[in-house]
Structure 1
Amino acid sequence: MVWSFGLNKRVPAINMTDEQRRLVLYTCAHTAVLYDYSNNTQKLLQGHCNMISSTCVSEDRRWIATADSGQNSMVIVWDSYSCIPVQTLFDPHVGGVTTMAMTPDAKYLVTVSAAQTQTVAIWDWTTESDSPICQAELDPAYGHQSYILFNPEDPTELVSNSESQVIFFSWKGGKLEYYAPELDDSTFNRAVGQYSQSIFQSNFGTRAFTATSVGNIVVWDSKRPSSEAPAASNDATKKALKLVRLQDRAITVLTTTDSYIVTGDVMGHVKFYDDQLTMINWYSEFDLGPVNALSFMYMPEFITDVAESSDFPPDATIAASKFVVKDFIVGTATAVMGHVRADGTILDVLLLEHDAAVHAICTHPTEPRLCMGSYSGLLKIWDYEQKEVLVSRQFDRGNMIRCVAFDPTGLILAAGFMDGSVRVMDALTLDDEVGEPFRYARDSVTHCCFSHDSNFLATADADFTVSVFRTGRGQEEEAWVYLGRHRAHYKLIESLMFGMELDTNQPRLLSLGRDRVMVEYDLGNSGKDDLRLLSQDRIEQSAVPSCMAWYPPVTKESFIVTANSQYKLKLYNTTTKMCRKTLLGPTYGAPVQKVAVLPTTGSPIEYRHLAYITTDKVGLHILPADGNPHKAMALIAHPTGVANLACSYDGKYVFTAGGMDCTAHMWSVSLKSLDAACSLGGENLIPFYGLLDGGREGEFFRELEDYFYYAQIRSQGVDATIDREVSTTIPLSEVPYVMRALGFYPTEQEIDDMLNEVKFSKYVETGQYVTHIDLGDFIKLYINHRPAFGLSPIDLQKAFEILGMDSEDGPAIDRGSLLDLLQSKGEHMTEAELAEFLTTLIGMNPEGGSSELGPYDTDQGTNVLEDALPRDFTAVSFAADVLGFQLYAPSTARPTTASTASNTAEDL
């Protein structure tokens, strides 16, 4: 990662500026960013695998602590100068950390867990210990504690608050105690409001303040009367002394600087008060949005006595003295960050980012430009080399941008919106090319793309409809003309793309949906209000396709590559739509969601790469794909989900959009590193041996060899007495039997795909069919086609949940319904086939072949097969009594692989 666009508005920004540097710390997804706003550079602190939930720093800004929440959570302490992690606390709490704080001297950390029953822990991170000094569990009735702070004058005291409860802590001698004072509307006969943040008042011992959602400040102090001896500094028992009404609007931020108490509110105002909560000065003209962060620069020798000629504003007192404060950072709930220079009251907007989901990203075809759009209606075009915004446009708040696309010339930009409208704009100014947006879709526009000649624009929407627009230049009065729309899918459209005819270079338009259908549209014969279809091909049986792309010309045959929910990449002939190859895809936690061929500035037939995203990762894959797992890599891109992918025009960078985290990341591509990692994985069959149970020397491989050579004998006749011809290949007709003996049970369609894959593998080069397969190619075929994680009992359980009825033992299917389903649905069986298979499985016909019984015994007039089967099947009974598998409970389910089955030569 080389740059992060956007920020996490839920984690307050921290001003890291001192006399030597101009920095601000904020977070983007799972990365903390140190942004030098004077030089426009970023230093990225990467180490978390979950969204960062909290940050804090030492008083001198030397040490930074970051924490996340979720599985495998961590607290990492960084040196802010070298950006090197110096300490890591692994799994500090179950579920991670929701908030934390650091003592001014940076010796101790306090963390609050994100679990429903929260735990507060004190850590001495400077030691080798991985256990807290002390901790305490909080009562869930106190609400979710979202803010905590050390007393800067006494680190043994802390204060935290939820929206409904303030808690005071005291720790000494390895024991953490806390006290939750009561306060409600009846205490002062006034509405208190919900708590936002709490602080300790400087130079007042145990006094603390809490801001509320109705503009109040709650003043807390020790229960002991002030006339008595002063309270001990570690006395955590507090009570509400008074409720001070400061304003009508909610106070969202409460902090201190020097001798002032500072508040920020939902109106975007920043106000300064003295120790007696008397207003000294305020800023109400920022107009940045509701304040959620206030942080002042670090200047230990700050001088408040300045010359009268200085440009500091006057305060609000009668004397109108110079109001001298340090420069500070203002962060808002609308993802805006401003830097305020107190001398002159100058506001510099450092960041103006998206405060809603970012799904729409695309790159310019010839220039280093990135276009980003979000649900907030903000559209921005960045120069990603110079890291500066070239142009932006803010649409009305209801215009949520869902997708964007440049045309091949880079002069036109199309944007699809959640309300179904489509805008065509000038890519340089973002001015509308068409007077009114197109409003033909009935639901949100999810995809948009241009043809290679820029003559066509196509969009897909959430109503399963594809719309096509044609340029009207030279033919029509309007710049773009609506051509038509077609609802060719009955489920969500996952991918939409233009291509070129191989011979005529005319544009082709294809769409792919979750209904497993690939549709091609007949643009040549379509007229105005008459969009026609050219073909509809069902490309999957059980898997759900997720994306498609044009396969680069690394082979002589022209292909379309798709990815599906079963971790497979498939290559389809662009003309016949025949599945020509099935390959094991990347298996990094989730199936591939979107692919993009990485552009190259060299020869189009040289070594190429595929960029892809999964649920939360971004990765690269070396082409041509062959199932070698070492050809792929992946990194966590956005822990809460990757929404979109784009590649730079020169292939040097990959961009990912994070959806709900409101950010986008820029990744630098190092192809040499990926090639080196692939080389370390071995050549030829070595990577594939590693995917077999036990590897090359394991029992499974020896079993595979036995089946392979037995298939040779079988093809020559088991009972033949002539001399055997031993070779290194077997006929293609034997492939399905060896596959089943190894524990992989393909459907008839999958068998056809496997045989066609081998049969036509050299046809383009030689014009000849392949009729035999050797052991090495068979291993590749087996690994690429078998289920990526074996047979899962969960799949069988889901089938019964969908097809069955509720019973005492779980979802069940009655015998008649099961036999009917097997003969009428999916790859349905004939009555004879059903009799043969079931009698073999249940032991009535153990030798296999045609069943002599058949489904019916006409002499007795009874159904012998049905009598041998129970009246009802559950997933467990069907697996045990018919399939002969042991089915685990869903909570402990694990895949059944070939190594767990006892296969013999008779299985062939």
Structure 2
Amino acid sequence: MLPDLTWNHGYSIHGESKGPCGKVRTALGHHALPRYPRGFWRSLFPTTKNLFSPQSLSWALGYNSSLAVHSMEDGMLLYVCAHTVVIHDVLGSRQYHLQGHANAVSCLCVSEDRRWVATADQGPDPLVIVWDAFSGIPVRTIFGSHTGSGVCAIAISQDAKCLVTISAGMVQRVCVWRWTYPDESPVCDVELSPQFGFQDFVIFNPQNPNEFVSNSKTQVIFYLWTGEPAPSTDPPLLSRQTFGSAVGHFTQSAFHFNATQALTGTSAGKVVVWDVERKRGLAKEPQGRLHGMKATKLVPMQEESLTVLMALESCIVTGDVRGQVKFYNGHLQLLACYDHSGAGPIRSISFSKAPADPPGASSTSSQPFTARNFILSTSGATVLRVVTDGTDFEKVMEEAKKAVTAIACHPRQAWLAMGSHCGLLKVWDYQQHQLLMSRIFPNAGIQCLSYDPAGSFLAAGFTDGTVHVLDAISLLLCCEVFRFSRGPITHIHFSHDSEYLATADEKYAVTVYKRVLQNERRCWEHLAGLHSHYKPIRSILFGIQLDGSEPRLLSLGEDRQLIEYDLSSSSKDQLVVLHRHRVEQAAVPLCLAWYPQFSTESFILTANSCYKMKLYNATTKMCRKTLLGPTYGSPLEKMQILPKSAAQPQKHYLAYITKDKVGLQIMPIDGNPHKSSAFICHPDGASDLAVSYDARCIFTAGGSDRTVLKWEVNLNALEAAASLGGEDLVPFYRLLEGGQDGEFFRELEDYFYYVQLHSYGIDMPETRQVSKYIPLEEIPSVMRAMGFYPSEEEQMCNIKFSEYVDTGEQVTKINLGDFIKLYINHRPAFGLSMKTIQRAFQVLGYDNENGDKVTDRGDLLSLLQCRGDQPLAGNKHCVQISQDIRL
């Protein structure tokens, strides 16, 4: 049972801690937190590649600038990228990744000796993980710590034995964990009243692991989780009248090294000093226990807002919105100041690890002021290394301040272009891990990027609707800035010969630019634009005419229209539409790609919101196949065919992103789920996808998490996983309820054989020569008998043209194995949901006396037979099946 916790007058929580006290215990056994030599990380982390994963994270660009950056040792940083914690060896140009969270990491802390790293997240099934930073091994995972909300603040005690977490819910919960013990519950916890504000910062007392402090913008709370419970009273508010001047919002708190006081920084540039409130008549409290803290002073430090406040050995350190770092003694008298005004507001300060004490040295001996080198991170996503024995500071990282929504790979070099909404454009060498060139566009954000096929130009679409064509090396403009779109540019692409450049924008318009020569320089000029869609455009795609080398252009929109444009007939200010085709009936198409040439017939590949992928004839736009796509939590958002690999030139693969995952798919696509894989890349949403020219790497952009991740591709592992899933029909049998030995499969066989008998005549007296096939015309009947009711728009019988291009003959029959594949690929990926049925009754039904939507059985049958697809009304087998419906 958890101990009782109560409030007292001095912002403190008291409770009794149960459980043995002793040395810290972990999965690695007892330890005394030893010090390790510099470079220990480099020798412990594994250097071999992951041989068993189809794609593995190899590098992370950018970081979460709302969280702290920690200095593990000189040249070694620790920070958060989306759901991954990165240990970055800046000097050795290497990264080590701590992966275990499924949600974006919301907070982290590091032990004093840099041995232990604790991380927590927010989202579904939040986790708290404690890592051994020297090996990257998670030594403790706490499940269900703050279910439903996650963690917004975390701290680790000076002796590294205890953790404190604060939930991110409306009613916050504070928990203390002895993470080295196997207990599944915290040693004590308490719920905070909403009147104390949202507590988003917490820190332990370095001199007493049983004390910690947290603060919101308006309240500071002190906690003591040992001793006897104290009487419960409401803590007073700290207001303007307390000191007769404006206090401002609280930012961070710290315990003073004098063992009785605590400090809190404010947005008004002041520091609140807290001290122990003692009982009357007692000069000294028994056992030094606190009976409350009281605000005793408000010390004006400066005019600028304080963003960081911390105690370091014998100094108080502050950081502010101007980029200044100041050191004070115990009486808050200024000792030193480091001004980095160009860096922006300071988010965190992390000092290099304290050197080991020399033999015979006393930890209490007075030492002159000597500050250690420190790492400075700003809210503007800049990380600086400051050397305190001089005025030198170096910029370690400068990343995007806002969402990263655009990435593009150079078609011939190991270069990656990245654009963000803050206008930052960077070109990065992803083999050498070096920045090649960067440029800031201050007036608008970059929304999309594309290299031309030769790699000489880089086209950028901006949020203000402008289009820039830049030199790929210098990033300088090659021609005028185009301003022909009324909304942000969402897609931009070059044709295969760079003759055309096409864009799509948020106003549902497609704009085309044509190449011209100006002053003997290659350039582009505006040709024409057209509002061809009435819903958002999901993809634009250039291709090559089948009977020549002329480019062709297609666009796909959420209005379910696949539109091809006649570029050769288009003229100035007139973009001609060659063909419009409706590609979906109920689902929403999401992305588009050219299907590799596996036969003499050419196809266009689409993916929709119902987890289906469809193949359309590139000329007639007839749907030739419907296939089950990857089903990893959300449909495909973008996809790209990998270039042919030198190691496997005869095989083709598809890279894709869903809402939060990146994956690979073996081609040709047949609906086999074992031919695809996916991993979480950006829990808050992936915004873009790019593939390296040599098919060895996939890059994903995280949008709001401001990061880009590099994934190394291991196609052999993907092929091995597909082989382990079974061959031929084995993977499809497993997708049937009960498998091949289940009742569903036997029922399917019975219907299949009944149709065989029916096609040869039920009343035939002579011996039948029954084959293994049924006519294609009977496919809808068997499907509906199995509980799947495809509409005529499903065009399931189009498989009769599957061999026409190669043989000139139509397929007229289908066997059981192919029928099972057809059923698996066409039926709803997750069955018919209750939500879908309720929506149908909202349309078809009427209100009864209870206010529920209902319909008569006869009316429903009439709708199915007369108002649905007309061929259904004339099919006697379907009518018979419809009459067997149980309402």
TM-score by length of 2: 0.88
Give how far 1:624 is off: 0.5
Letter of the 1:653 counterpart: C
What is the Cα deviation at residue 789 of structure 1? 1.1
- 1:129 counterpart letter in structure 2: D
Residue by residue, what CA displacement relative to the aligned partner does 1:559-608 show, whole Å, maximum 9, x if unpaired? 11110011101111111111111100011111111111111243996111
Question: Residue 68 of structure 2: SS of its match in structure 1?
Answer: coil
Q: How far apart are 1:174 and its partner, in Å? A: 10
1:616-655 paired onto structure 2 within 5 Å: 616-655=660-699
Cα separation, partners in 2 of 1:604 and 1:720, compared to 1, 3 Å: same
Which of 776, 782, 787 in structure 1 is aligned with 2:817?
A: 776
Higher relative contact order (CA 8 A, sep 6+): 2
Closer, same or farther in 2 for the Cα pair 1:779/1:836, shift >3 Å? closer
Aligned to 1:389: 435
Query: Is 2:435 the counterpart of 1:380?
Result: no
Question: Does structure 1 residue 162 correspond to structure 2 residue 203?
Answer: no
User: For each residue in 1:512-534, what CA deviation from the matched residue of structure 2 results, as whole angstroms up to 9, or x when unmatched?
Assistant: 00000100111111112121111
Deviation at 1:812, TM superposition (A): 4.5
Query: 1:93 deviation in Å?
Result: 1.4
Q: 36, 45, 53: which one pairs with 2:106? A: 53
Paired residue for 1:876?
none
Query: Deviation per CA, 1:195-250, whole angstroms, max 9, x where unpaired?
Result: 11100001x22210011111111111111289952445431511111111112221
Structure 2 counterpart SS, 1:186: helix
Work out whether 1:11 is the aligned partner of 2:67: yes
| Equivalent of 2:617 in 545, 555, 573 | 573
In structure 1, distance between residues paired with 2:129 and 2:200: 19
AA aligned opposite 1:6: G
Structure 2 CA distance for partners of 1:288 and 1:694, relative to 1, 3 Å: same
Alignment check: 8 A CA contact 2:864 2:882 kept: no
Which one of the candidate residues 796, 819, 822 is aligned to 2:837?
796
CA–CA separation in structure 2 for the residues paired with 1:16 and 1:706? 67
- Tell me if structure 2 keeps the 8 A contact 1:264–1:291: yes
* One-letter identity of the residue aligned with 2:95: Q
Name the counterpart of 2:408: 362
In structure 2, what is the equivalent of residue 150 of structure 1?
204
Picking from 276, 279, 282, the partner of 2:337 is 282
The question of whether the paired residues in 2 share the 8 Å contact of 1:586 and 1:632 is answered with yes
Q: Any unmatched runs of 5+ in structure 2?
A: 1-56, 359-366
Amino acid of the structure 1 residue aligned with 2:136:
C
Please give the alpha-carbon distance, in whole angstroms, between the structure 2 residues aligned to 1:498 and 1:826. Answer: 40
Q: Is the 8 A contact 2:864 2:873 kept in 1?
A: no
Aligned partner of 1:339 among 385, 401, 421: 385
Tell me how far apart the structure 2 counterparts of residues 842 and 295 of structure 1 sit (CA, whole Å). Answer: 71
Tell me the CA shift for residue 826 of structure 1.
9.2
Q: Is contact 2:82-2:707 (8 Å) kept?
A: yes
Higher mean Cα deviation, 28-37 or 271-280? 271-280
**Structure-1 separation of matches of 2:788 and 2:548:** 43
1:505 aligns to what?
549
Instruction: List per-residue Cα deviations over 1:309-357 (Å, max 9, x = no partner).
Output: xxxxxxxxxxxx9963100111111111111111222111111001111
Letter in 2 for 1:355: K
Tell me if structure 2 keeps the 8 A contact 1:169–1:177: no
Does the CA contact (< 8 Å) of 1:160 and 1:168 recur in 2? Answer: yes
Aligned 8 A contact 2:865 2:879 in 1? no
Query: Which letter does structure 2 place at the counterpart of 1:10?
Result: S
Distance 1:841 1:760, change over 3 A: closer
Give the Cα–Cα distance (whole angstroms) in 1 for the partners of residues 851 and 202 of structure 2. 48
Contact 2:784–2:878, Cα closer than 8 Å, also in 1:
no
Distance 2:579 2:607 in 1: 20
CA distance in 1, matches of 2:347, 2:357: 25
Q: Choose 122-131 or 505-514, whichever is displaced more.
A: 122-131
Alignment of 1:596-611 (within 5 A): 596-602=640-646, 606-611=650-655
Asked if 1:588 corresponds to 2:635, the answer is no
Q: For residue 112 of structure 1, what is the amino acid of its counterpart?
A: I
Q: What SS is found at the alignment partner of 1:276? A: coil
| SS of residue matched to 1:706 | helix
SS in 2 for 1:622: strand
Question: Unpaired runs of 5+ in structure 1?
Answer: 304-320, 847-882, 886-908
1:700 & 1:201 partners in 2: Cα distance?
Answer: 71
**CA deviation vs aligned residue, 1:681-710 (integer Å, no higher than 9, x gap):** 110000000000100111111111110110
Q: Which residue of 1 aligns with 2:353?
A: 298
* Larger displacement relative to structure 2 (762-771 or 833-842): 833-842
Question: In the alignment, does 2:886 pair up with 1:884?
Answer: yes
RMSD over aligned CA atoms reads 2.8
Q: Secondary structure at the match of 2:448?
A: strand
Distance 1:588 1:577 in 2: 28
Distance 1:276 1:698, change over 3 A: same
Quick one: distance in 1 between partners of 2:280 and 2:475?
A: 65
CA offset digits 1:794-843 (Å, max 9, x no partner)? 11223445677888756758999x9999699996659x949999997896
How far apart, CA to CA, are the structure 2 residues paired with 1:278 and 1:824?
88
Tell me, yes or no, if structure 1 residue 251 matches structure 2 residue 293: no
Distance in 2, matches of 1:248 and 1:643, equals 40
Conserved? CA contact 2:841–2:855, under 8 Å: no
Cα distance between partner residues in 1 of 2:542 and 2:553: 5
Partner of 1:105 in structure 2? 159
8 Å Cα contact 1:512-1:547 kept in structure 2: yes
**Displacement of 1:717:** 2.1
Quick check: 284-293 or 695-704, which moved more? 284-293
The residue aligned with 2:146 is 93
Which residue of the other structure, out of 91, 116, 119, is the alignment partner of 1:38?
91
Give the aligned residue type for 2:404. V
| CA distance in 1: counterparts of 2:270 and 2:624, whole angstroms | 70
Could you tell me how far apart the structure 2 residues matched to 1:660 and 1:450 are? 27
* 1:65-214 aligned within 5 A: 65-94=118-147, 95-172=149-226, 180-202=235-257, 204-214=258-268
Aligned residue pairs, count: 820
Are 1:156 and 1:234, in contact at CA under 8 Å, matched by a contact in 2? no
Matched, 1:62 2:106: no
The question of 1:399 aligning with 2:441 is answered no
Measure, in 1, the Cα distance between the counterparts of 2:805 and 2:557.
30
Moved more, 447-456 or 108-117: 108-117
Segment drifting more, 129-138 vs 192-201: 129-138
Asked if 1:520 is matched to 2:574, the reply is no
Give the 3 Å change call, closer, same or farther, for CA 689–834 of structure 1 in structure 2.
Answer: closer
Q: Do the aligned residues in 2 keep the contact of 1:456 with 1:471 (CA within 8 Å)?
A: yes
Partner of 1:238 in structure 2? 293
- Counterpart in the other structure of 2:802: 761
Identity of aligned residues (%): 49
Once the two structures are overlaid, the 10-residue window that deviates more, 349-358 or 554-563, is 554-563
Structure 2 residue matching 1:389: 3-state secondary structure: strand
Matches within 5 A, 1:539-554: 539-554=583-598
Q: Distance in 2 between matches of 1:22 and 1:826?
A: 72
In 2, Cα distance between equivalents of 1:537 and 1:701? 37
Deviation sequence 1:75-133 (CA, Å, 0-9, x none): 11111111111111112112221111111121111111122111111111112222211
1:135 and 1:176 in contact (8 A); partners too: no
Q: Could you give the per-residue CA deviations for residues 364-408 of structure 1, whole angstroms, max 9, x where no partner exists? A: 001111111011110001001111110000111x41110011000
Instruction: Report the Cα distance in structure 2 between the residues aligned to 1:608 and 1:842, rounded to whole angstroms.
Output: 43
Contact persistence 2:373–2:387 (CA under 8 A): yes
Shift of 1:426: 0.6
Is 1:215 the counterpart of 2:269? The answer is yes
SS of 2:239's partner is: coil
Alpha-carbon distance in 2 for matches of 1:655, 1:45 = 19
